[in-house]
Amino acid sequence: MQTYNKGFARVYNMRWGDFANNVAPLIRLFYESTPIGQTNKTLLDVCCGVGHLALHFLEHGYRVTGLDLSPEMLVYARERTQVYMDQGKVTFVEGNAANFTLDATFGLVTSTFDALNHLPTLDDLQGCFRSVAAVLEADGWFVFDLNTRHGLERWGGMTLQETDTLSLSTRGVIVEELGRAYTHISGFFRREDGF
């Protein structure tokens, strides 16, 4: 799985946690304002990545299950939440958001940072919604975000980021005739010997 490999997981862990850290409190406060959110403290985080959002909910007394396709991303999620794993409060499952089954139900299901845009087909997106519906409590909430076609049109262009440890190039590509947008990410980590 080239896209979500060890290098990508490392960059994601280093650079892209701010979105989850910013939206997690907002989602939690919304959920806790609902009738189910006052008593049911269970969360399924679909496409959980490296566990930033999961950690916020764990710190606020939730039982959390994280689901992600990338075993490399889950390594970071487990490291980030190790103390809660030791207490049996969090489980991470390697699985495909397009088609999954779990033995538990949840008051809250999330999928953030446009993760559902990574599902390649409409059938996959519908499969995700069916899978979520099967594990969501009757009065529960599925909170997710998606980029629309209009939002994806802003992806064109290139950004460069450089730190002491990383050089990263991110290029958005729009393929109008296919109705698709891609992000091409290239980068280099500085080795411990300085090269």
Angle at 99 between CA 22 and CA 146, to 5 degrees: 35
In the predicted model, is pLDDT for residue 187 greater than 90? no
DSSP of 30-75? HHHTSTGGGT--EEEEET-TTSHHHHHHHHTT-EEEEEES-HHHHH
Q: Which amino acid is at 166?
A: L
In the predicted model, is pLDDT for residue 26 greater than 70? yes
Percentage of the chain beyond pLDDT 90 is 62
Give the pLDDT mean for 26-47.
98
pLDDT at position 43: 98
pLDDT at position 1: 42
The length of the chain in residues reads 195
* 166-175/106-111 β-pairing: unpaired
Residues linked to residue 156 through DSSP beta bridges, in sequence order: 172
Selection from 103, 86, 83, 90 nearest residue 57 by Cα: 90
187 vs 114: which has the higher pLDDT: 114
DSSP of 63-125? EEEEEES-HHHHHHHHHHTHHHHHTT-EEEEE--TTS---S--EEEEEE-TTGGGGS-SHHHH
pLDDT in tens, 39-82: 999 999 999 999 999 999 999 999 999 999 999 999 999 999 99
Residues linked to residue 68 through DSSP beta bridges, in sequence order: 94
pLDDT in tens, 119-167: 989 999 999 999 999 999 999 999 999 877 766 666 667 777 787 876 7
